[in-house]
Structure 1
Amino acid sequence: MQRNATTRYPVLLVHGLFGFERIGHFELFHEVKDALKTAGSRVFVPHLSATHDNEVRGEQLLKQIESVLRGTGASKVNLIGHSQGALSARYAAALAPHAVASVTSVSGPNHGSELADFLRKALVPDRLPEVVAQNVATLFADFISLLSGGGTLPQNALAALNALTTEGVGAFNDRFPQGLPPTWGGQGAAQVNGVRYYSWSGVLPATHLPSFDPIQNACQALSQYFMTEGDQNDGFVGRFSSHLGQVIRSDYPLDHLSTLRRSASTVASLLDPIALYVEHAARLRAVNL
């Protein structure tokens, strides 16, 4: 039987780094959006810069929240942010708690990413490698933005990388601590300034065999750059670094992008990552959100 997940407030699915709403017939949140709509929720996908810092993307999100509120007549929205989208959602909720009913972080680097730390150290400031990396990544982000119809949005790959490092997120957290756990690996306040905070994430499935999913193979390769959470990460974000508010679970057997989509590995397992979003919408409905 289909779960009733008709939330009181509209749901905004907030994409992360190099994310987009739609390119041609491909939608980043296609399965999630369809499942939530089928379950009865009103769903929107705001378009943010593919690469930029958390504050710039957060300001863009605030404007689109206002647009959704005007268009729907709702008084608040539920924000579900994937990866860096969680930081954009946290920014919006901190500045406009009156307009945000809940923030849900899915695989969000709420304490920074060790992968971002490694990449930042690999770039020498003010020398050729940094300039080349900045230009290439920004051009790629511009290309994605053009294809997805958001060509006027600013892009800044280096600002995005700096904003995702442990140091960068630490500075962000000093300004916007809402929902953060007081201890490493713990749970944060479930509600701050009237906004409810939730999170879930995954860790790479334990396997010594190559996967048929190239994305999971890439995440496995990237996981070697984690030190603090070497065996507890999804290839991009550490398990405990993802904790925010009420932690639903942070060790689902999912890589970083499998919390967005069904892959060959998740189809073969008993876990449906898309169902997690419908379950969460029902959770929000249960508390009148």
Structure 2
Amino acid sequence: MKKLLTQSALAATLLTGAVAAQAASYQVCSVSGGCTSTGSIWVTSSYTQTKYPIVLAHGMAGFAKLGPVDYWYGIPQDLVSGGAKVYSTQVASFQSSEVRGEQLLTQVKTILAISGAAKVNLIGHSHGNQSIRYVAAAIPTKVASATGVGGPNKGSPVADVIKGVTNIPGVGTITATTLSSVINAFFLLIDNVAGESYRQDALAGLDSLTTAGATAFNAKYPQGIPTTACGEGAYTVNGVRYYSWSGTGHLTNVLDIVDPALALTSVVFPEANDGLVGRCSSHLGQVLRDNYNMNHLDEVNQLFGLVSLFETNPKSVYRAQANRLKSAGY
């Protein structure tokens, strides 16, 4: 009887250990607050188990986590369930590319320290592309890969149009001052709710995403940027592997209330686009695909997973990229 009880206790211990080993979470990071774990996620495979942690960088008007809502809706959880170590970062919602890049750099250094990892895999959406490119240029020996998603690497006509309005004599200055004050105040509140208190600068953010602003940034940080109008950039620069993907959809789900707005902004583009970023502007390093039937928010599975039912699910694209990085030894 004693032997039987001992065997039962051993089996229970092994079972408990197996369950504990399967429990994981992703981390939410900020400059002032460091990184904190979210709730437990059940790891069911090793499909996305990259050698180095995956670091997510949000775009303009973004956040890491706002209450129960992730900017990357359901994506961190999905990657963790496949074995990846994931860190979701938060920088200023509206700021220049350089300021946002420096904020991300601080967090990446923290992530490297707390994880003990030698490098990280960076993934940036929208204005987050400039952030990851800044970090990859600053500490290339600590970055294994940089993947851009719907990034305005060569600027956005939408930003050019808004900038043009702010330059109208007499009216432009008043309009710019009023709008920027409202935007700065609102996103200061958003950041506070999300656990951060960055200084917002809507006009600096706008300037960064104009064609002229992007051109100036690219002159300082050219790594991975195509030298032709719509080609690919260098796949590897200073040991960092560059990738990108994007969409050209607009009205992808009738239930998504944001889709009509993105369809409206799409008309200012001379090329296929996702509503805010042109297909060619999104190119960085190796272009995995640039014509998914996804609009700019679909690329991060927003709003709330209301994406096209007739296209690859965004979460699947991130899983595939993580597996690609894993296979490459990253």
Aligned match for 1:195, one of 237, 240, 243 = 240
TM-score with structure 2 setting the length: 0.82
- 1:118 alignment partner, SS class: helix
The one-letter code of the counterpart of 1:57 is: R
- 1:182 alignment partner, SS class: coil
CA contact (8 A) 2:250 2:263 kept: no
Return the alpha-carbon distance in structure 2 between the equivalents of residues 248 and 113 of structure 1: 21
Aligned match for 1:165, one of 174, 191, 210 = 210
The one-letter code of the counterpart of 2:48 is: A
CA contact (8 A) 1:205 1:255 kept: yes
CA contact (8 A) 1:20 1:48 kept: yes
Return the alpha-carbon distance in structure 2 between the equivalents of residues 76 and 140 of structure 1: 35
CA contact (8 A) 1:79 1:103 kept: yes
Give the superposition deviation at 1:3: 6.6
Aligned match for 2:146, one of 103, 108, 122 = 103
Return the alpha-carbon distance in structure 2 between the equivalents of residues 154 and 96 of structure 1: 25
Return the alpha-carbon distance in structure 2 between the equivalents of residues 204 and 4 of structure 1: 28
Verify: 1:83 aligned to 2:83, yes or no. Answer: no
Identity over the aligned pairs, expressed in percent? Answer: 40
The one-letter code of the counterpart of 1:197 is: Y
Quote the residue 2:76 is aligned against: 33
Higher RCO (CA < 8 A, seq sep 6+): 1
Return the alpha-carbon distance in structure 2 between the equivalents of residues 270 and 246 of structure 1: 21
Greater radius of gyration (CA)? 2
Verify: 1:183 aligned to 2:228, yes or no. Answer: yes
CA contact (8 A) 1:3 1:278 kept: no
Quote the residue 2:322 is aligned against: 281
Give the superposition deviation at 1:123: 1.1
Aligned match for 2:306, one of 261, 264, 267 = 264
CA contact (8 A) 1:188 1:244 kept: yes
Quote the residue 1:255 is aligned against: 295
1:1-289 aligned at under 5 Å gives the runs 4-124=47-167, 127-151=173-197, 153-204=198-249, 211-226=254-269, 228-229=270-271, 232-261=272-301, 263-266=305-308, 268-289=309-330
Point out 4+ residue stretches in structure 1 off by more than 3 angstroms. 262-265
Give the superposition deviation at 1:264: 3.3
Return the alpha-carbon distance in structure 1 between the equivalents of residues 136 and 237 of structure 2: 10
The one-letter code of the counterpart of 1:246 is: Q
Give the superposition deviation at 1:28: 1.2
Root-mean-square deviation (CA, aligned residues, Å) is 1.6
TM-score with structure 1 setting the length: 0.94
1:144-194 CA-to-partner distances (Å, cap 9, x unmatched) read: 11111102x121010000000000000000010000112111111110000
Return the alpha-carbon distance in structure 2 between the equivalents of residues 247 and 182 of structure 1: 14
Aligned residues: 282
CA contact (8 A) 1:211 1:217 kept: no
The farther-off stretch of 80-89 and 134-143 is: 134-143
Return the alpha-carbon distance in structure 2 between the equivalents of residues 156 and 46 of structure 1: 19
CA contact (8 A) 2:158 2:276 kept: yes
1:265–1:61 Cα change, 3 Å: closer
The one-letter code of the counterpart of 2:310 is: S
Structure 2 runs not aligned, ≥5 long = 1-43
